[in-house]
């Protein structure tokens, strides 16, 4: 967001109650759905994200920041998503 008067730019993290899944690091919607964790890329360190595994939340992988995380929301239906096994 940019102020029209002083041209100051503000950045903020995503809102926790959004409709679709976004990467918690970079905010992109270009995510891949994984069937299991990859041993090479890093996992999210959030306790909440790890706790979602008990409820069967799917694993998503961000192709830009190479982060693996669980999320209870569905990906954006406007974006074509891929599933890696």
Domain ranges for the chain: 31-84
Q: Residue 82's closest CA among 32, 36, 22? A: 32
Element at 82 (helix H, strand E): strand 82-84
pLDDT one-digit tens code per residue, 37-55: 888 888 888 888 888 888 9
The parts of the chain modelled with pLDDT lower than 70 are 1-2, 9-17, 80-85
Pull the structure tokens for residue 24.
């918690």
Pull the structure tokens for residue 46.
């959030």
Taking the whole predicted model, whether its pTM rises above 0.95 is answered as no
pLDDT above 70 covers what percent of the chain?
Answer: 80
Cα separation of 52 and 82, whole Å?
21
**38 contact partners, CB below 8 Å, separation of at least 6:** 61, 68
């Amino acid at each position: 967001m940019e102020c029209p008067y002083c041209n100051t730019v503000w950045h903020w993290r995503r809102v926790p109650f959004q409709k679709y899944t976004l990467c918690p690091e970079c905010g992109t919607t270009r995510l891949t759905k994984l069937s299991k964790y990859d041993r090479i890329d890093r996992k999210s360190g959030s306790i909440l994200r790890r706790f979602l595994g008990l409820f069967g939340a799917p694993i998503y992988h961000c192709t830009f920041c190479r982060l693996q995380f669980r999320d209870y929301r569905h990906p954006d239906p406007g974006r074509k998503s891929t599933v890696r096994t």
